[in-house]
Structure 1
Amino acid sequence: MSVEASPAAPSFPSRVYATLLGGALGDSLGYAVEFDTIGVIRARFGPAGLTSFEQLDGDTHISDDTQMTLYTVDGLVEALEWANDGVAADELACLWLAYLRWLATQDVAVSASAPVPQPRWIDRQEVLRHRRAPGNTCLSALASGEMGTVARPLNPESKGCGTVMRSAPFGLIPHISLEAVNKLSTDAATLTHGHPSARLSAAAFSLLVHHLVTGKDIRGAATEALHYVNGLPTKAPELPERLEAALRLSSAPTVLSPEELTAALGEGWVAEEALAVGLYAVLATQGGDPADHFRRAIGVAVNHSGDSDSTGSIAGNILGAYYGEACLPSDWLAALEGVDVIRGMADRLLAVTTA
């Protein structure tokens, strides 16, 4: 009796491309319904809600989630370029300058005290120069001209999902420690959001992606990421509460309805809720072909009365990091805005991490 061979694990480059493209697909589909209630979504698209780009008649856009994710990539790339040339770089300063360059695409007045960053390749990409419902906390923090730090946090009461939705790239740097992933992601989150949950949710997400690209399964990667942040001296009890609920509920035989989902895990407007909803959507729909799993998971992640683009983006990042490009539906990619730019940023990250 022959035994069917297990599919080969995706390559690291495939995981990088798919993490960024998968996140953009979830973001784009979710952005179409971001401010709609589930009742409005069903009225527009039918009982199952929005489950395909074909339902949008070609009107698809990436949001600030993908924009800021790509600028996170660029900040990391700049720091690594300096390091590869033998020059010590301040990673946090590079990320801050990258986010200031993103802010310049949003037509926002910036304090005269802010530094003027040198332009880079990403800044010339017209597809990114659109205002797509950016978060007010990110805008206000960056426009202040001050660099937020743990010792001097900006927006200390804010735990909006603007930190977690942009943090997948911190998990895509190979051969660095868990401590380094945590520090990069939490420091970068503090540039705009000072609440512990905003910072720790970014860390948990980055660590989850890190574990996935090193070959762990999704549930195991999430459990290890949660264990790590639970062991940190900084605490945000709402984060483990939401993630533990996502892990528990996703083991049930049936998928929660959109109403049950937001009642149990929240609407995703704050960091720990967005991560929990995205993770639940991926775990609760596991099985079958990778592309089919992707479609089902993104459907759960975006069809609810909450922050659909961020929860969709997070789910897409997770699936891409796990499956690589095999999970990306070709018809969805054909409808995605800015594919060449997203691939271009992945190329730049790979050039400084795999040479």
Structure 2
Amino acid sequence: MSNVPGPSVFSGTAPSPESRIHGCLLGGALGDSLGYAVEFDPIEEIRRRFGAAGLRDFAVLDGGTHFSDDTQMTLYTVDGIVEALEWANSGVGADANACVWLAYLRWLDTQGETLPDSAPRPQPRWIDSQEVLRHRRAPGKACLSGLATGEMGTAARPVNPDSKGCGTVMRSAPFGLVPHIPADSVYKLSADAASLTHGHPSARQSAGAFSLIIHALVQGSSLAGAAKAALARVLADGEAAPELRERLEAAVRLAGEAGSGTILNPEDLVGELGEGWVAEEALAVGLYAVLATAPQTQVDGLPDPVEHFKDAIALAINHSGDSDSTGSIAGNILGAYYGTACLPAEWLEALEAPEVIRGMAGQLVAVTTA
């Protein structure tokens, strides 16, 4: 299998870096928000509430919805990266993982947790003043406990050594949005940041693989090409967790079968790929949803990005599992691929605090495209 990503679908003007950054962060928040409405519901309950096709639109959520800790931590990942790049752009070297760790400690404070005496006291930044991010939205236990140790976890000295929850994957898209760095560096940055809270190899490697997918898309890869490149990286790693290999291989294989019209139903989806509560399952489900719904609807001979986005998010969230994380992963991928062109306008109108997400996207654009 080649490590070279395949060509992009775009025959005309590809999305700008700014559009991809905004698309990735907003798309992830949309998938997270729709999925958060059904995160803890079995598929039978989802069908009872929303019909046989499940939840497919914000319009049916009379009480509205919110984004979860997935979007919160993604935005704090952005903030850590932005701070590291601000230092770099001013000519001062900074430990990128330390900047991300300090950002996560500030996120921990927003969750009402007390920082241990051994932890540093980070200086506040713009993101910390955003009240919408101070709500507790079902944060992952390992994220909380790993940060609460006050120790900066590393791959060699991990906190929560047995934890491989999806809390690493769902926050890692921003590493792939940083331009002008090689794929191996993207993988390492993402895997190192995962080690701050989760020590299991699959948690680190799944986060790295996800960031590689985003990175390849930003570089102009096709969706299938980005998936195959990430899979090839995992297969070539003699230390890769076997469960990650199995799930990614299954996601790519099953998505290929979907091209003949065979898309997994929710029961078979979790049977084949898992419920998404752990890292490799969440990545596999989100990736499968994107690849399996490769659009049939065409606009001027090209795929309709909005319909693809809607179909992929619906597939990613309607199952008995961690619907917000699998939805956010699918949204991140398609936003990075299509840019903002795939985001449904009516969904953006329903999104909680889009100005905060755009604000963080704007900061990342400023330090990466100046």
TM-score normalized by the length of structure 2? 0.93
Give the one of 287, 293, 300 matched to 1:279.
287
Shift of 1:65: 0.2
Shift of 1:7: 4.2
Shift of 1:226: 1.5
Q: Deviations over 1:253-279 (max 9, x none)?
A: 221100000000000000000000000
Match of 2:254 in 1: 249
Match of 1:311 in 2: 326
Shift of 1:8: 2.2
Which ranges of structure 2 fall in alignment gaps of 5 or more residues? 1-9, 298-303
Match of 2:116 in 1: 111
Letter in 2 for 1:212: L
Q: Distance in 1 between matches of 2:239 and 2:128?
A: 35
Give the one of 350, 362, 366 matched to 1:335.
350
1:251 counterpart SS class: helix
> What is the 5 A alignment of 1:1-355?
6-252=11-257, 253-287=261-295, 288=297, 289-355=304-370
Greater Cα shift, 180-189 or 226-235:
226-235
Shift of 1:225: 1.1
Q: Give the paired residue count.
A: 351
Shift of 1:59: 1.5
Q: Distance in 1 between matches of 2:12 and 2:40?
A: 39
Shift of 1:44: 0.7
Letter in 2 for 1:184: L
1:250 counterpart SS class: helix
Q: Deviations over 1:10-31 (max 9, x none)?
A: 1111000000000000000000
Q: Distance in 2 between matches of 1:323 and 1:254?
A: 24
Letter in 1 for 2:133: L
CA contact (8 A) 1:282 1:297 kept: yes
Q: Deviations over 1:289-320 (max 9, x none)?
A: 10001000000000000000000000000000
- For the aligned residue pairs, the C-alpha RMSD in angstroms reads 1.0
Shift of 1:233: 4.5
Q: Distance in 2 between matches of 1:232 and 1:68?
A: 28
Which ranges of structure 1 fall in alignment gaps of 5 or more residues? none
Q: Distance in 2 between matches of 1:330 and 1:235?
A: 40
1:115 counterpart SS class: coil
Shift of 1:91: 0.6
Letter in 2 for 1:221: A
Q: Deviations over 1:211-269 (max 9, x none)?
A: 00111011110110111233235320111110110111112222110000000000000
Percent identity over the alignment is 71
2:20 counterpart SS class: helix
CA contact (8 A) 1:58 1:335 kept: no
Q: Distance in 2 between matches of 1:9 and 1:166?
A: 25
Letter in 1 for 2:312: A
TM-score normalized by the length of structure 1? 0.97
2:256 counterpart SS class: coil
Greater Cα shift, 53-62 or 307-316:
53-62
